[in-house]
Amino acid sequence: MEYYVIQSLNALVFAVILLLSGLGLSVVMSLMNFVNLTHGSLYLLGSYIAVFWMATGQPWYLAFPAAFLGGAAAGLILDRFPFQLFYARTHLMQVLLTYGLSVVFADLMRWGFGAHIATPQIPELLRGVVFILDTPFPIYRLFVLASGVVLAAGLWFLFDRTIWGAVVRACVVDTRIVEALGINTKHVFTAVLALSCGLGALSGALGSGILAAFPGLDEEILILAFIVVVVGGLGTFSGVAVSALVLGFTMTFAKMLSPEFSNLMSLAVMAGILIWRPDGLIAATRREV
Amino acid sequence: MAGNRSTLVLSVVVAALAVLPLTGVPDHHLRLVAEILILGVAVMSLDLLIGYGGLVSLGHAAMFGVGAYAAALFATHVSPDLLLAIPAGIVAATLVGAVMGALVMRSANLFLLILTLLLSQMVWEVIFRWRDVTGGADGFRGIPQLTLPGGMAIDSGVDLYYVAGVLAVGAYLVAASFVNAPIGKALVGTREQPIRMTALGYSIPRIRLSVFMVSSAIAGAAGALYPFVNLYVGPQVAHWTMSATLVIMLVLGGVCTLFGGFIGAAIYLVFQTHVSSYTDRWQLVVGLAFVATVLFVPRGLGRELHQLLRPLGLGEPRVTAETDKKGTVR
Amino acid sequence: MTGHTSIEPTGAGLSLHGVRKSFGSYTAVDDVTLDVLQGELLGLIGPNGAGKTTLFNIVTGFVRPDVGRVVFEGADVTRLKPDQRVRRGLVRTFQKSMVFPELSAEENIAMAARARQGSGYAWWRPAERAAEALAEGSRLLRAIGLERRGALPVGALSHGEQRMVDILVSLALRPRLLLMDEPTAGLTREETARVMDLVRAHDRSTTVVLIAHDLDVVFSLCERIAVLNLGALLAVGSPEEIRANPEVRTAYLGSHREH
């Protein structure tokens, strides 16, 4: 019994990391119709920022805003060039451009940060374990779980409940009308991209205490986040959340059942969902004839 | 007219390839050309899906890999005869392709991309974990050399080069006849106006299944020859990153041209071989070159080459499609 | 399902039985029961949003009704997919031209002709089959006076010419029942007459259902007219009966006031 509770907590923690990285991807995909495959690179960048920040002895909690700002700054540059040229292009061209960039970034990071596994020095406060049902559980994981839930809730509030979110959503429906209201949609898109990139880096910073940072993690996270977003139905908040939970729990419990076949099982579950529902778990729009 | 002209061009290319070994090219260069031809065939088969069908698959390496392992296993355990081992790879890849085609039947766009990725990674997992049969992560070694029906071994770079050349020409003829036949036109129709095709009484699943099987068979043929280049095959040939590489080659060479597959494979492999001998950062260089291609030559180098050749009497490819407008995921 | 077929009245090419379709809380088609007689030309009119196109989508299988049955030539086709219905001769045109702009007009028509021949999926094709399909293209183009434009990509033709090619494509399927959604929009009077003449001359036994905004076209061509309003069938009858129907007048006057 305790065992299952602990595994469920682990699954939740993993799901939260998937959710955060997935949300960043999903925000640009649903709001800007842009597929950004450099998202995994931004995650890894955030992880490295956290690792290096925590090694400097600065206040540890500032590592997270630092990662967010680092990612957002990278987003601002990428938006300038070359992303803006590709916002109106087809998904295929976007996929090609951003995949190519992710290959470049992967090699740059391997060059700059080395090929070894870098782990952050977790602060004293988050280092130990708590006992849940007499079983030890790392405090850091609870910290990731809590911050992830708060962040996700905040994002949902931002896009769903504020005027700012309404403007962004209106941009998706009809750019010209929003322009006619005197709002520069280009700036809105820039802001959304920066936010998404910052979020990617922030999830990397949070995840670094669990998954560490190493070359190749960018690609792994990218693929998982991409799967989560697509299986969720491309761009609905609830779809991403449900899909992250499904993948998080499947991967955790499949590993428990059989380490050998865990990947196969997880792949089969996600593929099964897409075969059963070709438009994802929660489809964003109704298809019209 | 266009038919005669492309027959002429094809004959010239084939003749040039046929005499290439006589010009004293070193054996290891011929081996590289053989590898280019093999991967070119795989990229060309992917062009049927992506270019002509608008079906952006990120799982094509599964078919290539299954063809490779099936042929290698067949040659090792049953017979190294070329005329048996290659068909064994083709059959295995076609079966996997048929299953995958049936499962992705209802999917489109990014959903199709992810579903093909998931399914192909399942194939990779099987290859990776089934150590007793495939050698797992270490790959499969001890593959015998292919033999001709008479028993003559295909051991030198020249031999391999000619086998790959025959494969490439054969695969090109099969693919070209497919896209020019009614089924190929119907396929382009489903890419351009799927609703119209349904309203004409065409069954889109049937068309998609056909192209999946043909494309898988060709990819399987290419995969089947691949292990015999180095007498080794590793699980990375079925990994999704291999699929991504095939897509990159396709874009470099030009989507919806068929022959672009060979140009893309040539650019990529030559680049990789040369750059990696100068710098450890070859991934960076290849990545930047690819990004530059997407930015500045989005129609692919093969197509631009085609444009340059136009004054020489070479027309546009038969089915034209702007890569930035058509053949898309939306 | 097949047990019901014997009760269909003879002569009905298409019968709708209590067909209803809602999108969320909006009922697009509300309990429509209608017989279309074999070989007749029926006009389908109604104000904007009356459910005409949804009804076409239901008949052709692009939308599945919530309740009700669609019976075509005595067989229940409610559960068949669109392409299966087309192969039975139940063909439609779309409000927007749906041609293949990069292909020539002849090739566009040949694509349909091959589908009808059953050679649409062929790979190793007999040459005469292909020639036959292309010949059908030139024959139809000649019949409407477009033979000079047949080799051009359809995208290069005028809007009206594209509409005509679109209709020729449907005719190449040799429909038993042809549902035409605003075929004459964007055509001149003279072009409209040519198109409708060709449709009728192509095969007299073909049943035609015509949606048109131009009421003059409907009233002058159609033998019977059905009026939809707010998803429900308001009236069916001869042009004279429809003209005299006070409910129809109200529906149309009401919709005019909105403009």
Q: Do A96 and B294 touch (CB under 8 A)?
A: yes
Q: Do C169 and B181 touch (CB under 8 A)?
A: no
C195 assigned to some structural domain: no
Mutate: best of B187, B200, B319, partner C, most C CBs <10 A: B200
Q: Do C115 and B195 touch (CB under 8 A)?
A: no
Phi, psi for C119 (deg, rounded to 5): -105, 15
Written as six digits, the tokens of A259 are 């380490």
- How long is chain B? 330
Percentage of chain C exceeding pLDDT 90: 44
pLDDT (0 to 100) of residue B20: 86
Q: Are residues C39 and C137 in the same domain?
A: no
C193 assigned to some structural domain: no
Phi, psi for B44 (deg, rounded to 5): -60, -40
Please state, rounded to an integer, the average pLDDT across all residues of chain B: 88
pLDDT (0 to 100) of residue C55: 93
The residue segments making up the domain with residue C131 are 97-174
Q: Are residues C169 and C182 in the same domain?
A: no
Q: Closest-CA residue in chain A for B124? A: A264
Give B34-71 pLDDT, tens digit per residue.
Answer: 999 999 999 999 999 999 999 999 999 999 999 999 99
Q: Angle A155-A156-A159 (CA atoms, 0-180°, nearest 5)?
A: 85
Give the dihedral sign, CA B297/B299/B301/B304: negative
According to DSSP, the β-strands at A129-132 and A135-138 are: antiparallel
Mutate: best of B49, B118, B119, B252, partner A, most A CBs <10 A: B118
Does residue A167 have a pLDDT over 60? yes
Confidence band, pLDDT 50/70/90 cuts, at residue C191: confident
A264 chain-B contacts, CB cut-off 8 A: 122, 125-126, 129
Q: Do B111 and A234 touch (CB under 8 A)?
A: yes
Q: Do B283 and A103 touch (CB under 8 A)?
A: yes
The residue segments making up the domain with residue B62 are 26-240
Written as six digits, the tokens of C128 are 């005469």
Is the peptide bond preceding residue A82 cis, with omega within 30 degrees of 0?
A: yes
Please state, rounded to an integer, the average pLDDT across all residues of chain C: 86
- Window from A187-191, A195-199, A221-225 with minimum mean pLDDT: A187-191
Q: Do A101 and B114 touch (CB under 8 A)?
A: no
- Residues A221, A21 contacting (CB under 8 angstroms): yes
Distance, CA of A258 to CA of A254 (rounded, Å): 6
Confidence band, pLDDT 50/70/90 cuts, at residue B311: low
Q: Do C102 and B186 touch (CB under 8 A)?
A: no
Q: Are residues C4 and C62 in the same domain?
A: yes
Beta bridge partners of C70: C16
Does residue B330 have a pLDDT over 80? no
**B180 close contact with C: CB closer than 8 A:** no
DSSP 8-state class, residue B258: S
Please state, rounded to an integer, the average pLDDT across all residues of chain A: 89
Q: Closest-CA residue in chain B for C111? A: B186
Distance, CA of A222 to CA of A228 (rounded, Å): 10
B324 chain-A contacts, CB cut-off 8 A: 89-90, 93
Q: Neighbours of B (≥3 Cβ pairs closer than 8 A)?
A: A, C
Distance, CA of B328 to CA of B53 (rounded, Å): 9
Give C116-135 pLDDT, tens digit per residue.
Answer: 888 889 887 667 778 888 88
Q: What is the ipTM of this complex?
A: 0.90
Compute the count of residue pairs across chains A and C with CB atoms less than 8 Å apart.
4
Distance, CA of B316 to CA of B297 (rounded, Å): 17
Give the dihedral sign, CA A54/A57/A61/A62: negative
Percentage of chain A exceeding pLDDT 70: 97
Q: Are residues C74 and C182 in the same domain?
A: yes
Q: Which of B182, B179, B264 is nearest to B218 (CA)?
A: B179
Of the partner residues A107, A261, A289, the one whose CB lies closest to the CB of residue B284: A107
DSSP 8-state class, residue C9: P
CATH number at residue C231: 3.40.50.300
- Window from B138-152, C121-135, C198-212, C220-234 with minimum mean pLDDT: C121-135
Query: What's the gap in Å between the CA of A81 and the closest CA on chain B?
Result: 11
Q: Closest-CA residue in chain B for A274? A: B115
Q: Closest-CA residue in chain C for B207? A: C121
Q: Are residues C182 and C76 in the same domain?
A: yes
- Window from A58-67, A137-146, B23-32 with minimum mean pLDDT: B23-32
pLDDT (0 to 100) of residue C259: 39
Written as six digits, the tokens of B157 are 């770079």
- Residues A201, A42 contacting (CB under 8 angstroms): yes
B300 assigned to some structural domain: no
C162 assigned to some structural domain: yes
Residue A246: CA atoms inside 13 Å, Cβ hemisphere, count? 25
- Residues C197, C17 contacting (CB under 8 angstroms): no
Give the dihedral sign, CA C98/C103/C104/C110: negative
C120 assigned to some structural domain: yes
**C63 close contact with A: CB closer than 8 A:** yes
pLDDT (0 to 100) of residue A259: 87
B260 assigned to some structural domain: no
Q: Are residues C84 and C167 in the same domain?
A: no
Distance, CA of B156 to CA of B161 (rounded, Å): 9
Please, which residues 179-208 of chain B have a Cβ atom closer than 8 Å to chain A?
195
Q: Do A267 and B126 touch (CB under 8 A)?
A: no
Query: What's the gap in Å between the CA of A159 and the closest CA on chain B?
Result: 24
Q: Closest-CA residue in chain A for B116? A: A271
Phi, psi for A268 (deg, rounded to 5): -65, -40
Measured CB to CB, residues of chain A less than 8 Å from chain C are 286, 289
Confidence band, pLDDT 50/70/90 cuts, at residue B1: very low
DSSP letters, A74-136, are HHHHHIIIIIHHHTTS-HHHHHHHHHHHHHHHHHHHHHHH-SSPB-----HHHHSEEEETTEE
Q: Closest-CA residue in chain A for C82? A: A289
Q: Where are the domains of chain A?
A: 2-222
Structural domain count, chain B: 1
Distance, CA of A119 to CA of A47 (rounded, Å): 9
Structural domain count, chain C: 2
B215 assigned to some structural domain: yes
CA dist C69 → A277, C4, C42, C72 (Å): 27, 11, 20, 10
Distance of CA B187 to the CA centre of its chain: 18
B144 assigned to some structural domain: yes
pLDDT (0 to 100) of residue C258: 42
B120 assigned to some structural domain: yes
